[in-house]
Amino acid sequence: MRRWFPARSSPSWRLRGPSSWSIRAQSSVAATPRSRIRRRNTDQIASMASFPLVTSLTRPESNHVSGLCGRDTRMRESTTPPGRLPPRVRIAPSPTGDPHVGTAYIALFNFVFARKYGGRFVLRIEDTDQERSTASSEAAILEALRWLGFEWEEGPDVGGPHGPYRQSERLGIYQAHVQRLLDGGHAYRCFCTRERLDALRREQIEAKASHLGYDGHCRALSPDEGARRAADGEAHVVRLRVPSEGETSFFDHLRQETIGFQNEQIDDQVLVKSDGFPTYHLANVVDDHLMGITHVIRGEEWITSTPKHVLLYRAFGWEEPCFFHLGLLRNTDRSKLSKRKNPVSIFHYRDLGYLPETLLNFMATLGFSMGDDRERFTLDEMITAFEWSKVSAGGPVFDAAKLDAFNGADIRAMDVDTLHRRLLETTLAPERLRALLFHAKERIARLDDVVPYISFAFGAEVDYGPVLDKVKIKKRSRQDVIDVLERFAEEIERDPAARTFEAAALEAFSRGFCERSGWKAKDLFTLLRIAVTGRTAAPPLFDTMAICGKDRCRLRIRDLIGVLGGVADW
RNA sequence: GGCCCCAUGGUCUAGCGGUCAGGACGUUGGCCUCUCACGCCGAAAUCCCGGGUUCGAUUCCCGGUGGGGUCACCA
């Protein structure tokens, strides 16, 4: 683990550390023109004031470690972060699906950092993908983040001095900025068709090209011709003109290292799509600058596009923020956390009865440690103890069993009155209970039967043992059943209406699905009823699914698929 | 495949040149107890490999290996 500054620096470290580094960095730059040149943030070391020489030794002219970062002379304590303080940070989710735990994870570090140093936490909606962005997704994300306890000083719902905070409402701003890039020669219009790009891509893959990317076909177009053709209404995009030689690097403040890329590795990124909307890269840089963001704290999936962002900051003549790239949350198989393999919706955790403060604590331990043996701590305690040297850069596996252990311990620690109250607010909320009673009353003879009757609407997995025989659908093989469940689960996510999980939309979707797949409604619905409830008898299927909720249904369908996978063929 | 990131028990981590490598989850043995759960006590299990630097590397450097990310008019 690297540090800002040696917490207990011994005289020998002081003598050896920086000086040996400076020599190495210097010679490696000169002798080996490798794409990746690592060096310490020498400014920080220099600011220890013990090595006036270090700066001149290790700071080549091309040092890109500049901007907001590294020049901070307040860098005297190990806990003082780089960059301008108080910080302004942001979480910038894309409203294209369910609120993701990865978003919450990144939000946590942004939020804690802002709170620790008296900064501001901004929420910005990155809805530049017209195809996939939805208002309901945006609302869900805000709801989920609030449930977890995050509060933002600026955002689409609370306003703020740098609004609007929804990128789709900032189109004019991007247009003006693109014109600046065009005028400065930092960007150019590209009229290549989808077909040409596809063909190019295929060629590159077939030729096993070392790196795929745009071939610069339109780079040579004169700005005048580009402008003329654009004025004629010809469809086009705007691309970033990346220098063909040299390297672009940035300092990653979490890793405490410079990360460099050969420019030839960097694609001429599209900045404006043919629909006139900016891509993430452009909008993100423009907005971060205009909103005064000082520290960009995001997932490491962004590392490879950071040089494009850096190039944009320079093209505009703007100071760069400090970059921190956090490790990605992983599935048990270590791939990037995905809903195919894991519940990733924040609502899943909410609706199955995880306590928000516990989920937050658990996520915190994934990338942060107190430094001592404590791992049960509150948000406030984390804020108090927070410093970047306590954050690890590896990608942690999201261990659901440990989350369960934390949650169980916290439930035990509650007094019964508190537990009772919280249960009434969530799992047994009046509206939810009422919805269940609406269906239960038709089917019970004694009031007391209501609890066993509605039990399917609670808990995670159900026991398929007693009903396993019933999923043997006539003329359908075991594999047919597995396939149709998988396909159903997959397609429902893509259906904009069905994924709201309202009964009517679910029914419409499911009937359409039957037509497409050739399954009889009766057979499919039986299957789904068993998957979702573990029973052959329940209230009307789509009401049942709606009450159980998307995440519970998803979990159980997946669970049944798993059970079927281990069962003998029929 | 190119580029980039990461690397301490199965999992999350502490560790900042000399430690019996600490904690947590999980696994496991026992105690407690009408059962289960909780709780308590104990156990097994880790420094990816190879070079280098050093009197001494889990720790610093390089290389390899492994894992991950990224190569879209998605973010």
Give mean pLDDT, residues A482-495: 93
Cis peptide before A86 (omega within 30 of 0): yes
Tokens 């449930």 found at? A147
Q: Is residue A529 classed exposed, middle or buried when 0-12, 13-18 and 19+ CB atoms within 10 A define those classes? A: buried
Residue nearest to nucleotide B13 (CA to C1'): A369
Check if residue A272 sits with its Cβ under 7 angstroms from strand B: no
- In the complex, which nucleotide's C1' lies nearest to the CA atom of residue A204? B1
- Whether residue A13 is predicted with pLDDT greater than 90 in this model: the reply is no
pLDDT at site A163: 83
Q: Is A339 an active-site residue?
A: yes
Distance in Å from B66's C1' to A250's CA comes to 27
**Cα separations (Å) of A347 from A69, A97, A122, A367, A451?**
37, 12, 22, 22, 24
Strand partners, A125: A166
CB A38 within 8 A of CB A247: no
Distance in Å from B71's C1' to A566's CA comes to 38
Q: What digits encode the pLDDT tens for the residues A505-537? A: 999 999 999 999 999 999 999 999 999 999 999
Q: Could you give the CA distance from residue A565 to residue A344 in angstroms, rounded to a whole number?
A: 23
Classified as helix, coil or strand, A288 is helix
Share of chain A above pLDDT 90, in %: 79
Decide if A64-173+245-258+280-423 and A440-565 have a common fold. no
Q: What digits encode the pLDDT tens for the residues A224-265? A: 999 999 999 999 999 999 999 999 999 999 999 999 999 999
Render A11-61 in DSSP notation, one character per residue. HHHHHHHHHHHHHHHHHHHHH---S------HHHHHTTSS-HHHHHHH--T
Check if residue A267 sits with its Cβ under 7 angstroms from strand B: yes
Nearest to A503 by CA among A435, A441, A444: A435
- Whether residue A4 is predicted with pLDDT greater than 70 in this model: the reply is no
- In the complex, which nucleotide's C1' lies nearest to the CA atom of residue A6? B16
Q: Could you give the CA distance from residue A387 to residue A125 in angstroms, rounded to a whole number?
A: 27
CATH 3.40.50.2000 fits domain A440-565: no
Q: Could you give the CA distance from residue A308 to residue A239 in angstroms, rounded to a whole number?
A: 11
CATH class label, A64-173+245-258+280-423: alpha beta
- Whether residue A44 is predicted with pLDDT greater than 70 in this model: the reply is no
Strand B positions with any atom < 7 Å from protein CB? 1-8, 10-17, 22-26, 38-39, 60-62, 67-75
CB A439 within 8 A of CB A540: yes
Check if residue A397 sits with its Cβ under 7 angstroms from strand B: yes
Q: Could you give the CA distance from residue A525 to residue A514 in angstroms, rounded to a whole number?
A: 10
Check if residue A467 sits with its Cβ under 7 angstroms from strand B: no
ipTM over 0.85: yes
Check if residue A3 sits with its Cβ under 7 angstroms from strand B: yes
Chain A 103-122, CB < 7 Å to strand B: none
Q: What digits encode the pLDDT tens for the residues A307-332? A: 999 999 999 999 999 999 999 999 99
**Structural domain boundaries in chain A:** 24-61, 64-173+245-258+280-423, 440-565
